[in-house]
Amino acid sequence: MEIKYYDKEHECMSREDLRALQSERLIKQVQYVYDNVETYRKKMDEMNVKPSDIKSIDDIVKLPFTVKKDLRDGYPFGMFAAKQKDIIRLHASSGTTGKLTVVGYTKNDIDVWAQMAARSIVASGGTEDMVAHVSYGYGLFTGGLGLHYGAEKLGCATVPSSSGNTQNQIRLIQDFKADILACTPSYAIYLASEMEKQGLKPEDIALKIGIFGAEPWTDEMRKVIEEKLGIKAYDIYGLSEIMGPGVACECAYQNGLHINEDHFYPEIIDPVTLEPVAPGEKGELVFTTLTKEGIPLIRYRTKDIATINYEKCECGRTLARLGKITGRTDDMLIIRGVNVFPSQIEAAIMSVNKNVEAHYQIIVDRVNNLDTLEIQIEINEAMFSDEINKLEALRTAISDNVKSMLSVGAKITLVSPNTLPRSEGKAKRVIDKRKI
């Protein structure tokens, strides 16, 4: 397999050289935030840590953590380190609490971001002569513009399609002979189902590569998307607080997402004790930006649950690999005392039968003081006309699989084709009525 890199020097540098670079960058970044961000000056003073105490990347554990609340408390620009005149772009994300988290980028930040997104596209097999169709939302969300600038930086013919107007998107993908599709995995499924409805087959479109992220998705979902669209589907990770898409991305081996560690230093901690977990163990992912100017963040707690693998990859990259994100510390459902992540439910239903459409919804409620879990799953047209006992057998098989994989029983409801809501961005699959 021929492997291409966007920036071989940094993507394949020895771990020793990488640590030296990280140390040098961390020392500068810490001094910079201490001098320019009051929140950090206060936090460090309280802990009695001075910038001069940071002599190498190993000293990172001496530094304070940052949480989303710090950004919200400083709304809108309180955590910015750069002067307003040097900020050239603002993005924002709204969480469940409604208050916006605002991030700002300098010219250099935007350039680094484009490079990181370009690295990701190349790691996924993209080349400058390809057409890249970007269906992530353009706007305050970082998905659209992040992939857009990355694709342009690489030299792709970039189609700023944004989300929505699915029929038009299908026409553009066909007519412009798009090679790369960048969108959320749930939108990829939606697009694929719509194409199927129009009688379009994978060989009728030119797509080769999918760059999917912004929400958790399973390997089972990957298989379905790859088959339906006739592509290889790659996972891309990122978050607006740290940059946007391109913090990490899969390579041809699809075995973990290479973290752009020369710019973002990752740690995995126990979310309760805040201590680092043992190497390879699961925990909360924490990032420190090493080169950011607009809003540099120290030990930012992402709430994402992940593992990190430091072994060298077969692709030649030395950059550590993030395991697929299985969920967030705040999206774990506790059902009758059992901890369940939506991604486990996805894996349990999708490993049973390929005829189940990849559209599903999870409904949690409390009836007579007891938690209930219902999973609504769409079946496809072919199954819809099947005999009732076949459907019943499918329902039982999914129910058994859920019970054995999750240790919690669920009511499985098979619903008719095209009845569940479709997502053009991040899918909202869980309706937790206990919180309403």
Positions in the binding site for ligand DLL (CB under 6 A): 93, 136, 141-143, 146, 213-216, 235-240, 244-245, 302, 304, 325, 328
Closest approach, Cβ 248 to ligand DLL, in A, equals: 8
User: Which of 222, 11, 262 lies closest to 120, judged by CA?
Assistant: 11
Considering only CA atoms, which of 253, 188, 190 is closest in space to residue 214? 188
Task: Give the span between the Cα atoms of 375 and 398, in whole angstroms.
Answer: 10
| DSSP structure string for 343-404 | HHHHHHHHTT-TTEEEEEEEEEEEETTEEEEEEEEEEPHHHHTS-HHHHHHHHHHHHHHHHH
Q: How near is the Cβ of 146 to ligand DLL at its closest, in Å?
A: 6
Residue in the shown chain whose Cβ atom is closest to ligand DLL:
213
Instruction: For the CB of residue 138, give the shortest distance to ligand DLL in the complex, in Å.
Output: 11
Choose between 156 and 394: whose C-beta lies nearer to ligand DLL.
156
Residue 172 near residue 205, CB atoms below 8 Å: no
Q: Report the nearest approach of ligand DLL to the CB of residue 145 (Å).
A: 10
- Within 8 A by CB and 6+ apart from 379, the residues are 355, 356, 357, 391, 394, 414, 415, 416, 417
Of the two residues 81 and 239, which places its CB atom closer to ligand DLL in the complex?
239
Beta bridge partners of 365: 372
Residue 190 beta carbon to ligand DLL: minimum distance, rounded to whole angstroms: 16
Closer residue to ligand DLL in complex, CB, 44/239? 239
Residue (80 or 141) nearer to ligand DLL, CB: 141
CA neighbor of 333 nearest in space, from 395, 275, 407, 404? 407
> Considering beta carbons, is residue 89 or 177 the nearer one to ligand DLL?
89
Contacts of 96 (CB under 8 A, 6+ apart): 330
Rank residues 106 and 302 by Cβ distance to ligand DLL and give the closer one: 302
Shortest distance, position 95 Cβ to ligand DLL, whole Å: 9
Residue 94 or 396 having the CB closest to ligand DLL: 94
Residue given tokens 């400083």 in the structure block: 74
Judge contact between 362 and 342, C-beta under 8 A.
Answer: yes
Minimum gap (Å) between residue 253 Cβ and ligand DLL: 16
Place of tokens 């771990």: 15
Specify the residue, 182 or 192, whose C-beta has the smaller distance to ligand DLL: 182
**CA–CA distance, 338 with 333 (Å, rounded to integer):** 8
Q: State the minimum distance, in angstroms, from the CB of residue 130 to ligand DLL.
A: 18
